[in-house]
């Protein structure tokens, strides 16, 4: 597995792949890898000739400096896991390499960033678009693979790719869960043992909400989900929104045949987790 630290070294590798007409599958990450990331690598390997991952903790997408400071980092273990998973190459730039000067670009996501993560983490998606557009520029992938756990992020990246006219297929891959239902996330390793025991309630509640959609209104379902999770005493729901899968706008009632997604953000102590499920009639 080749490891590149600079865009110049990476560029030579990418050019040689293109000369040999190899398709490139790209998995951008912020490291602290888990099985969810490895499933993205597996999808990329299946669908491309060359699989390339990046590891870069992008400062511009953190609206909370403490979150950036505490974000888990373990490069040596990440590299071992990528090697084991059969990844062909890794791009691991430092901050100066990705931001030689301040990125002042402001992206327009046509309203997709107005709710949920966008509303609760100001500037977050603009930072994501800044780094992903820079990485796309450096890697020039044919396909890029993202986890569906970050449902809104996938929509934002699709929008950005479209607006910039980039010939890249954005592939959303299914959420990977622990045996107890917790969606895999790099932040899970920051949970205290008490909170770790409490957090399976999030997915359990979302699953139950899917069946309750047949008997409750959207408003009643939101209230029920928030109460059920908050009643644990250890978890605090920041939002639970049921949105249209395409527009990401909150729905006010269920319509048969329409695809909706129930998206949640929950504080477990100082750790903020997100998850989502489809909720359809």
Report if residue 27 touches ligand PAF, rule: CB under 6 A.
no
Report if residue 188 touches ligand PAF, rule: CB under 6 A.
no
Report if residue 58 touches ligand PAF, rule: CB under 6 A.
yes
Report if residue 61 touches ligand PAF, rule: CB under 6 A.
yes
CB of 167 to ligand PAF, least distance (A): 19
Residue 273: phi and psi, rounded to 5, are -120, 150
Of 30 and 277, CB closest to ligand PAF: 30
Spatial contact of 11 and 138, defined as CB atoms under 8 Å apart: yes
| List of residues 6+ apart from 148 with CB closer than 8 A | 154, 172, 173, 174, 175, 276
- Tell me the C-alpha distance between 32 and 53, whole Å: 13
Cα 244 to Cα 71, 194, 207, 260, distances in angstroms:
31, 34, 18, 5
CB of 161 to ligand PAF, least distance (A): 12
Residue 37 appears among annotated catalytic residues: yes
Scanning residues 251 to 280, which ones bind ligand PAF (CB under 6 A)? Answer: none
Among residues 30, 172, 198, 261, which is the contact residue for ligand PAF, using CB under 6 A?
30
Tell the burial category of 190 from Cβ atoms under 10 Å away from its Cβ (0-12, 13-18, 19+).
Answer: buried
CB of 131 to ligand PAF, least distance (A): 5
Report if residue 132 touches ligand PAF, rule: CB under 6 A.
yes
Which residue's structure tokens are 């297929």? 169
Kindly state the number of chain residues that form the binding site for ligand PAF, as judged by CB under 6 A.
10
Q: Which residues bind ligand PAF (CB under 6 A)?
A: 28-30, 58, 61, 128, 131-132, 150, 153
By annotation, the residues acting in catalysis are 37
């Amino acid at each position: 597995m080749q490891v590149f630290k600079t865009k110049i070294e990476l560029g030579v590798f990418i050019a040689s792949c293109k000369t040999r007409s190899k398709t490139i599958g790209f998995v951008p990450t912020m490291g602290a890898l888990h099985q969810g990331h490895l499933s993205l690598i597996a999808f990329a390997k299946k669908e491309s000739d060359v699989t390339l991952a990046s590891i870069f903790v992008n400062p511009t997408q953190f609206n909370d400096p403490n979150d950036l400071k505490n974000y888990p980092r373990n490069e040596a273990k990440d590299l071992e896991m990528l090697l084991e998973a059969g990844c062909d190459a890794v791009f691991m730039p430092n901050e100066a390499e990705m931001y030689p000067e301040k990125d002042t670009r402001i992206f327009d996501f046509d309203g997709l960033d107005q709710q949920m993560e966008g509303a609760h983490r100001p500037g977050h998606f603009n930072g994501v678009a800044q780094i992903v557009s820079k990485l796309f520029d450096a890697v020039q992938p044919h396909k890029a693979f993202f986890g569906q756990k970050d449902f809104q992020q996938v929509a934002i990246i699709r929008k950005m790719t479209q607006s910039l006219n980039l010939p890249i297929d954005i592939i959303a891959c299914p959420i990977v869960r622990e045996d107890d239902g917790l969606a895999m996330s790099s932040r899970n390793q920051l949970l205290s043992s008490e909170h770790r025991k409490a957090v399976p309630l999030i997915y359990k509640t979302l699953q139950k909400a899917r069946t309750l959609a047949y008997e409750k209104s959207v408003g009643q379902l939101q209230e029920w989900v928030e109460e059920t999770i908050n009643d644990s005493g250890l978890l605090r729901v920041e939002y639970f929104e049921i949105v249209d899968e395409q527009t990401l706008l909150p729905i006010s009632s269920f319509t048969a045949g329409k695809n909706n997604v129930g998206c949640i953000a929950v504080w477990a102590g100082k750790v903020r987790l997100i998850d989502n499920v489809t909720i359809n009639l």
